[in-house]
Amino acid sequence: KQINSRATSESETMYCVYVAIGQKRSTVGQLIQTLEEANALEYSILVAATASDPAPLQFLAPYSGCAMGEYFRDNGMHALIIYDDLSKQAVAYRQMSLLLRRPPGREAFPGDVFYLHSRLLERAAKRSDQTGAGSLTALPVIETQAGDVSAYIPTNVISITDGQICLETELFYRGIRPAINVGLSVSRVGSA
């Protein structure tokens, strides 16, 4: 709320695009209710391909959300896009690839899954002043299995991004909030 009130006073709105991939419908419904209660829907867009939707929709949802975020960026505005979560998009892509009889690679994912995510995340950018000065910031969410950040998809996304914030369920249940594991969380953005 503090960030939003400061942005409004500076007459710069930060638009938010939230892409729910493979989430339960009830979870998406709760998120919509939370955003409504916070009066955040006026500057937010939700793209949802729920767990009950077919794999191709879960695969395409991040690209649809990104195109919406790019609209704001390309028109001199600022936007944040949250992909929740890209590991579920990768599973949908794996399912489609196996049905198409493409050769599986590590953990049965197709060999081009890294390219899939890098191509998507590299669309987030800051435009120069000459081209409108808009920006699109991406926050990809990856769900790990038992906290294993060395699995194939988490490793791929970590190698693409400028850092990661690792949250732990155990810290959350101990009352430590935000439940950030400072040992695994890293920033690769240098100071200027």
User: Which sequence positions are flagged as catalytic?
Assistant: 188
Number of alpha carbons in the 13 Å side-chain half-sphere of residue 149: 15
Task: Provide the b/e sequence for 99-136 (b: ≥16 CB within 10 Å).
Answer: eeeeeeeeeebbeebbebbeebbebbeeeeeeeeebbb
| H or E, element range at 156 | helix 152-160
Which two three-digit tokens encode residue 156?
Answer: 């791929």
